[in-house]
């Protein structure tokens, strides 16, 4: 019975002593870190420890008066993480310690320090990291040059997925070229490899859509009258936005949501602006938009020549500004009627005929144009006997 108690006591003592039976040290694996590449996440790897109070209690790591390679960090668990930003051999002091303060009473924390070097080489990295390549027009030529930094002789390939029908990837140059023959949304993964072990890949999406077209109706404006010009876009991928290059006539503005140009023109003149529509993929279409703003329609104030009963009479009432065709009328009421024998040409503003009555006639003549502008002015026509 006494022997049994002795054996049990020795075993219990062993359970306490074993965790601290070996000196704290870095494992052999800690001295063989993987080589990192610039521009790429460092491989999933950690510094590790042995002996001391571990592995029953966790180890702790910290840098001693030194820094990890640019872009990398070493956390308290020994994990190296980050994306190296600079190539070279980077050395630093790293301390390994037992859990301190320890969570077990039997642990007497120790420390160990060692000098390490991480090697970072130039990474092979595809430059075009955007996941979306935007869009291409069906049945129109397409070209995109993929490039990579690092590496020597490169070979490009489609790792998964497929390019749109009609497009190919040049395995030597990385150029995607051709003429898409069908619409749709395509996803594919491109890989580039050098003659060594380095490689990189990137997944892209590319949409093939009908050609983006922009139609802008012709329209003429007039000073003082509401103006509206609404363009129409078709094709591309809906979700259009609009932009303008150039200066609009005073009084006009463009709505970036619809592309509509509207307002009340404040000055006559001619100008040309460039209107661009951009679809949801970033594809663009641009057209020149000529803008003509006519002056305000005004009847010209000129005295009418005298007329004589029985003698042929002919005179024109004129106007400036406005947009043809024009329509001339004599406003009704008395006074305001022409003498018998005379008439007003509604298209030209010509007063003609042979007056049959004498007198002084007070007329109010109005002209209206194509856009609805109008102007009126009073005239006096004297007819002698």
The 10s digit of each residue's pLDDT in 154-188 is 999 999 999 999 999 999 999 999 999 999 999 99
Decide if 4 is inside a domain: no
- Dihedral, 134, 138, 141, 147 alpha carbons, nearest 10: 30
What is the per-residue burial (b if ≥16 Cβ within 10 Å, else e) of 280-305?
ebebebeeebebbbbbebbbeeeebe
pTM over 0.75: no
- Boundary of a domain, candidates 94, 121, 148: 121
Q: Can you name the residues that pair with 384 across neighbouring β-strands?
A: 308
Cα(213)–Cα(233) distance, integer angstroms: 6
At 10 the pLDDT is: 40
104 and 155 in one domain? no
The Cα-based distances of 140 to 137, 169, 208 in angstroms read 6, 17, 10
Q: What is the pLDDT along the chain (385 residues), one digit of tens a residue?
A: 444 444 344 444 444 444 445 899 999 999 999 999 998 899 999 999 999 999 999 999 999 999 999 999 999 999 999 999 999 999 999 999 999 999 999 999 999 999 999 999 989 999 999 999 999 999 999 999 999 988 779 999 999 999 999 999 999 999 999 999 999 999 999 999 998 788 999 999 999 999 999 999 999 999 999 999 999 999 999 999 999 999 999 999 999 999 999 999 999 999 999 999 999 999 999 999 999 999 999 999 999 999 999 999 999 999 999 999 999 999 875 546 899 999 999 999 999 999 999 999 999 999 999 999 999 999 999 999 9
Q: Which residues make Cβ contacts (< 8 Å) with residue 41, sequence separation at least 6?
A: 81, 82, 83
Distance of CA 143 to the CA centre of its chain: 19
Decide if 63 is inside a domain: yes
Cis bond upstream, residue 45 (ω within 30): no
Please report, for the domain that includes residue 173, its CATH number: 2.60.40.10
Decide if 73 is inside a domain: yes
Helix (H) or strand (E) holding 2: helix 2-17
Map tokens 């397409």 to a residue: 142
Dihedral-angle region of residue 208 (phi above 0 means left; psi in -120 to 50 means alpha; beta otherwise) = beta
176 and 100 in one domain? no
150 and 52 in one domain? no
- Dihedral, 211, 212, 217, 222 alpha carbons, nearest 10: -160
Decide if 3 is inside a domain: no
Provide the domain limits for residue 258. 216-294
Map tokens 């150029």 to a residue: 175
281 and 229 in one domain? yes
103 and 23 in one domain? yes
Cis bond upstream, residue 184 (ω within 30): no
In the chain, the number of structural domains is 4
Cα(259)–Cα(274) distance, integer angstroms: 11
85 and 152 in one domain? no
At 21 the pLDDT is: 55
233 and 199 in one domain? no
């Amino acid at each position: 019975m006494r022997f049994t108690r002795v054996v049990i006591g020795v075993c219990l003592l062993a359970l306490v002593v074993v965790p601290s039976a070996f000196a704290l040290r870095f494992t052999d694996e800690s001295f063989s870190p993987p080589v990192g590449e610039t521009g790429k996440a460092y491989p999933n790897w950690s510094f590790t420890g042995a002996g001391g109070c571990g592995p029953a209690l966790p180890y702790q790591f910290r840098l001693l008066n030194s820094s990890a390679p640019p872009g990398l960090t070493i956390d308290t668990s020994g994990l190296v993480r980050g994306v190296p930003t600079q190539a070279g051999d980077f050395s630093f002091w790293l301390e390994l310690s037992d859990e301190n303060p320890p969570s077990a009473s039997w642990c007497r924390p120790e420390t160990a320090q060692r000098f390490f070097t991480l090697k970072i080489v130039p990474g092979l990295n595809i430059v075009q990291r955007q996941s979306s390549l935007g869009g291409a027009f069906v049945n129109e030529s397409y070209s995109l040059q993929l490039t990579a930094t690092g590496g020597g002789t490169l070979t490009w390939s489609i790792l998964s997925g497929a390019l749109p029908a009609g497009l190919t990837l040049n395995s030597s140059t990385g150029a995607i070229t051709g003429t898409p023959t069908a619409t749709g949304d395509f996803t594919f993964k491109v890989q580039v490899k050098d003659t060594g072990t380095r490689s990189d890949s990137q997944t892209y999406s590319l949409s093939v859509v009908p050609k983006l077209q922009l139609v802008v109706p012709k329209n003429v404006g007039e000073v003082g009258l509401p103006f509206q010009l609404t363009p129409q876009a078709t094709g591309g991928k809906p979700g259009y936005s609009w932009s303008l290059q150039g200066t609009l006539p005073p009084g006009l503005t463009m709505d970036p949501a619809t592309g509509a140009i509207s307002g009340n023109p404040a000055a006559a003149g001619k100008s040309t602006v460039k209107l661009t529509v951009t679809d949801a993929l970033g594809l663009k279409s641009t057209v020149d938009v000529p803008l003509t703003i006519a002056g305000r329609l005004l009847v010209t104030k000129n005295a009418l020549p005298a007329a004589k009963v029985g003698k042929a009479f002919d005179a024109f009432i004129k106007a400036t500004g406005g947009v043809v065709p024009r329509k001339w009328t004599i406003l009704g009421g008395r006074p305001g009627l022409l003498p018998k024998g005379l008439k007003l040409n509604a298209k030209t503003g010509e007063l003609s005929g042979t007056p049959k009555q004498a007198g002084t006639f007070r007329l109010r003549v109005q002209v209206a144009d194509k856009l609805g502008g109008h102007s009126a002015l009073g005239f006096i026509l004297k007819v002698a006997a």
